[in-house]
Amino acid sequence: MHITVVGTGYVGLVVGACLAETGNDVVCADIDHEKIDGLKRNVMPIYEPGLGDLVERNQQQRRITFTTDVGGAIRTSEVVFIAVGTPPDEDGSADLRHVLEVAALIGQHMTREMVIVTKSTVPVGTARKVAAVVSKNATFPFHMCSNPEFLKEGAAVEDFMRPDRVVLGVESDSARSVMAELYAPFVRTGKPIIFMDIASAELTKYAANGMLATRISFMNEVANLCERVGANVDQVRKGIGSDARIGPSFLFPGPGYGGSCFPKDVKALLRTGNEHGASMRVLDAVEQANERQKHRLFEKLAAVLTDGLRGRRIAVWGLAFKPQTDDMRDAPAVTLIDELLAAGAQVVAHDPVAMPEARRRLGDRIAYADTNYDAVDGADALIVVTDWNQFRHPDFQRIKAGLARPIVIDGRNLYDPARMAALGFTYRSIGRGNE
């Protein structure tokens, strides 16, 4: 098929590359000239394992091309995916400006009957708005489809190539047929393609992220209670996660969720509920709990450094909101760093991938270390924020020798409290009693 993907962010670039990998002719279009120029040279604008190789291979074999001529790309297409950003507006609602701008271009430049797919995360009713905008100029029939993405940053290529399920909201046999053919190569192992009405598909994405965010905030609340009553959240997690009705996923406590999806989608779902007179009190509590949790690491450090933080040098391991990505949007590390700087501390940070993004966001407000061990040299404490594999089994003697004070605040429960105590560290983690 001839496919155009408008938008080359996390979603659009992964979608385009993976669809090209199965033999389709794909054009990825974006108005960002610098990004498109880089992609033509196989320079990735994001860090995502496996994506660079996928783009380079398919570009070499001419199955994927990149352009800033969005209208021209639309003119050649049978299927157009809208994968532009939907940032949160000031009131928490999704900003659909870019989505509707693409819809207008589709109406102006389409040259044949086509399927228009909303791939961006959008609230219920967006496909209807897109169709209305397209219709103003369209001279050919078109069919709407809502195809929410369920891609985990750090595993996006794997998620697309081997999905748990494919959700397709369609309301015509033509759209159903085209999309079933397009996704057939990805579900050969028997994973389902779930067809539903468009409104249900639009809501499914938000509901899924809302549920996952709920599990994270719930477990963080349990972890905080564990600290008060002397329980161990690791044992509680295993105890409830072994229940088949609950399962073990997303039950790891930490410094709160971040990234491009959960914070934005929770806000948007709350806004949608309020607009339709169905306030979502549970989700409201989830968001509040997450905001509180982002302050826990600072609170733990302040409780240990009783002589204050002014002038103290604090090492931070991990800046991305999760491992295997350079995404720092709503990252807990940013909240922590802001608090440390406000308290008069100096921050030296290391992240295996997100250092360029951190320099872009934070500038010279903090210092940057080439390695995680360089970060601890001369520091009064170490705070582990992101659970990169490189941080899981460090040289503790090297850490202790580098630190001015043997203080470790572990925001991901990577280390054993008994071992850390035996090594002479003052150690604090999340929800594992009073270490």
Per residue in 165-185, pLDDT tens?
A: 999 999 999 999 999 999 999
pLDDT at 137 over 80: yes
Query: Per-residue pLDDT averaged across 13-40, rounded?
Result: 97
Predicted confidence (pLDDT) at residue 159 exceeds the cutoff of 80 = yes
Q: Does 205-293 match 296-428 in CATH topology? A: no
Tell me the sheet residues that pair with 88: 94
Averaged pLDDT score across all residues of the chain: 95
How far separated are the first and last CA of the chain, in Å rounded?
A: 59
2-196: which CATH topology?
Rossmann fold (3.40.50)
What SS3 class is residue 308? Answer: coil
Task: Give the contacts of 163 (CB within 8 A, at least 6 positions apart).
Answer: 150, 186, 187, 191
Query: What local confidence, expressed as pLDDT, does residue 123 receive?
Result: 87
- Using CA atoms, how far residue 336 sits from 7, 94, 139, 189, 415, in Å, is 32, 26, 53, 43, 20
What backbone phi and psi angles, to 5 degrees, belong to 350? -140, 140
Q: Are 321 and 254 in contact (CB under 8 A)?
A: no
* Tokens describing residue 163: 């999905």
CA-to-CA distance for 326 and 321, rounded, in angstroms?
8
Domains of the chain, residue spans? 2-196, 205-293, 296-428
pLDDT at 434: 62
Cβ neighbours of residue 236 closer than 8 Å, sequence gap 6 or more: 222, 226, 431
How much is the pLDDT for 93? 73
CATH class given for the domain over 296-428: alpha beta
* Least confident among 57-66, 140-149, 256-265: 256-265
pLDDT of residue 435: 58
CA 401 to chain centre: 36
Question: Which distant-in-sequence residues (6+ apart) come within 8 Å of 260 by Cβ?
Answer: 10, 153, 327, 329, 330
Q: What is the pLDDT of residue 109?
A: 96
Which helix (H) or strand (E) covers residue 316, if one does?
strand 313-317
Cα radius of gyration rounded to whole Å, the chain? 24
User: Of all residues in the chain, what percent carry a pLDDT higher than 70?
Assistant: 99
Whether 92 shows a pLDDT value over 70: the answer reads no
Average the pLDDT over 355-378 and give the result. 97
The yes/no answer on whether domain 205-293 falls in CATH 1.10.1040.10 is yes
What pLDDT, on a 0 to 100 scale, did the predictor assign at position 86?
82
pLDDT surpasses 70 at 40: yes
pLDDT in tens, 199-256: 999 999 999 999 999 999 999 999 999 999 999 999 999 999 999 999 999 999 999 9
The percent of residues in the chain predicted with pLDDT above 90, rounded, is: 93
The 10s digit of each residue's pLDDT in 280-304 is: 999 999 999 999 999 999 999 999 9
pLDDT of residue 261: 86
What is the pLDDT confidence band of residue 126, given thresholds at 50, 70 and 90? very high
Whether the pLDDT of residue 46 is over 80: the answer is: yes
Is residue 90 over pLDDT 80?
A: no
Q: Record the tokens describing residue 230, joined without a space.
A: 């002397």
> Running DSSP on this structure, what letter comes out for residue 63?
S
CA 426 to chain centre: 32
Task: Give the 3-state secondary structure of 212-258.
Answer: HHHHHHHHHHHHHHHHHHCCEHHHHHHHHHCCCCCCCCCCCCCCCCC
pLDDT bin (cut points 50, 70, 90) of residue 91 is: low
Residue 433 pLDDT greater than 80, yes or no: no
Residue 261 annotated as catalytic: yes
Out of 15-29, 201-215, 259-273, 419-433, least confident range: 259-273
- pLDDT band at residue 30, thresholds of 50, 70 and 90? very high
